[in-house]
Amino acid sequence: MSKNVKLIVVTKNFNMDKIYPIIKAGHINFGENKVQEATYKWVDFLKNNKDINLHLLGKLQSNKVPQAVNIFDYIHSLDSEKLANKLMQEENKQNKKLKYFIQVNISEEPQKNGIVANKVKEFRQFCVHDLKLDVRGLMCIPSAEGDPSQFFKKMAEIKKKNNLTELSMGMSNDYECAIQNGATFVRVGSKIFTES
Ligand SMILES: *Cc1c(COP(=O)(O)O)cnc(C)c1O
């Protein structure tokens, strides 16, 4: 894997005893998709292990924002003005800055979360200039059907247009294709845990 691509080991549904060996081997970036599960698993461990970066990958509900700001370093699911406002307020309360990815609904599926492509610029401006959130890049979960490369390519274009540095895309099934198209963070879970 290119040194410009960082691997987030997605640990949802796995207990800490499955995760410790990976930490011991020196891995730093881990991802969870639920605030509750992440808190339960990671909160005590993180108190004595400040080097670990924990990434929230799943939908963030407003009422979970205080817990999320407390435990996570990165949030990949920034997807509404309401959520952005709430995160800004909570950062101020806890005197902590997180790093953010704007989630893009790149395949424009109605049931999916995320900002549509032609609204990303305006949303990024709002988050960065009005709220001072540290937005690093864009994240997507493209439709599971068909060839994802068209979506990854579109993501790379939107990233460039918006002067962002990071692209969070690619999971067990499509991380190679994502890397070929410019991913800087890939999020891999099942492939790591079921083949080891
Ligand atoms: C579960 C999950 C992943 C990892 O998926 P795998 O198919 O297990 O590699 C990546 N991103 C998000 C948002 C997830 O919820």
- Does residue 97 sit within a domain? yes
Segment 17-46 mean pLDDT = 96
Does pLDDT of 195 surpass 80? no
Count the Cβ atoms, other than its own, within 10 Å of residue 112. Answer: 16
- Does residue 44 sit within a domain? yes
- Does residue 1 sit within a domain? no
- Does residue 81 sit within a domain? yes
Count of structural domains within the chain: 1
* Index of the ligand 1 atom closest to the CA of residue 76: 13
- Does residue 56 sit within a domain? yes
pLDDT tens for each residue of 114-142: 999 999 999 999 999 999 999 999 999 99
Does pLDDT of 22 surpass 60? yes
Helices (H) and strands (E) in the chain, counts: 8, 8
pLDDT tens for each residue of 57-79: 999 999 999 999 999 999 999 99
- Is the minimum distance from the CB of 33 to ligand 1 under 6 angstroms? yes
pLDDT at 194: 86
Of 19, 53, 13, give the one whose Cα is nearest residue 36. Answer: 13
pLDDT at 52: 97
pLDDT at 145: 83
pLDDT at 143: 86
Does pLDDT of 113 surpass 80? yes
- Does residue 40 sit within a domain? yes
- Does residue 189 sit within a domain? yes
Instruction: Give residue 107's domain range.
Output: 6-195
Give the CATH number of the domain where residue 87 resides: 3.20.20.10
47 contacts 22 by C-beta, under 8 angstroms: no
Does pLDDT of 161 surpass 90? yes
Q: CA angle, 124 as apex, 11 and 70 as ends, to 5°?
A: 40
Task: Give residue 164 CA to ligand 1 midpoint distance, Å.
Answer: 23
- pLDDT-derived band at 174, boundaries 50, 70, 90: very high
- Is the minimum distance from the CB of 54 to ligand 1 under 6 angstroms? no
Predicted TM-score (pTM) of this structure: 0.96
Average pLDDT, the chain: 95
165 contacts 137 by C-beta, under 8 angstroms: yes
CB-based contacts of 137, cutoff 8 Å, min separation 6:
101, 102, 159, 164, 165, 166, 167, 168, 184, 185
- Is the minimum distance from the CB of 13 to ligand 1 under 6 angstroms? no
Does pLDDT of 1 surpass 60? no
* Index of the ligand 1 atom closest to the CA of residue 171: 9
- Is the minimum distance from the CB of 189 to ligand 1 under 6 angstroms? yes
- Does residue 59 sit within a domain? yes
Segment 82-91 mean pLDDT = 98
- Is the minimum distance from the CB of 190 to ligand 1 under 6 angstroms? yes
* Index of the ligand 1 atom closest to the CA of residue 188: 9
> Encoding tokens for residue 63?
């009422």
Task: Give residue 118 CA to ligand 1 midpoint distance, Å.
Answer: 25
